[in-house]
Amino acid sequence: MDLSDRQRKILWLRAQGLSGPQIARREHIAIGTLAYHEKVILARLDVRNITQAVHLAGMTGIIGAHEGCGDRAAYLRHLRRRETPCPACRAANARNQAARRAAEFEAELKREAA
């Protein structure tokens, strides 16, 4: 269910009510490329249409309240603004922490092996 940054942005723009041609112009991509990304989104989220995809993405935290939401930097922006981080940013922060812990564990294993 992992989407690329561009796919998350397309979902966020759809959630803002932009049409396909508006998104294509804004993102400087062809309509066919947009259609391809939306097809991939539907398959990864296992939904029938882009409206369901937007709804599911909002409910599960794949897309957030702001355009830049969904990564660790956005999580930190929420904290600096003294806002409650949105689900997308909380999930990104959790992924970041898990990756950091995994890297630390792997480094520890290498030190023990040496």
On the question of pLDDT at 67 being above 80, the answer is no
pLDDT in tens, 23-38: 999 999 999 999 999 9
Cα 1 to Cα 41, 47, 66, 106, distances in angstroms: 9, 11, 21, 26
User: How does pLDDT run across 39-56, given as a tens digit for each residue?
Assistant: 999 999 999 999 999 999
Helix orientation angle between 72-80 and 87-113, rounded to the nearest 10 degrees: 120
Q: Please give the pLDDT value at position 1.
A: 61
Q: What is the pTM of this model?
A: 0.65
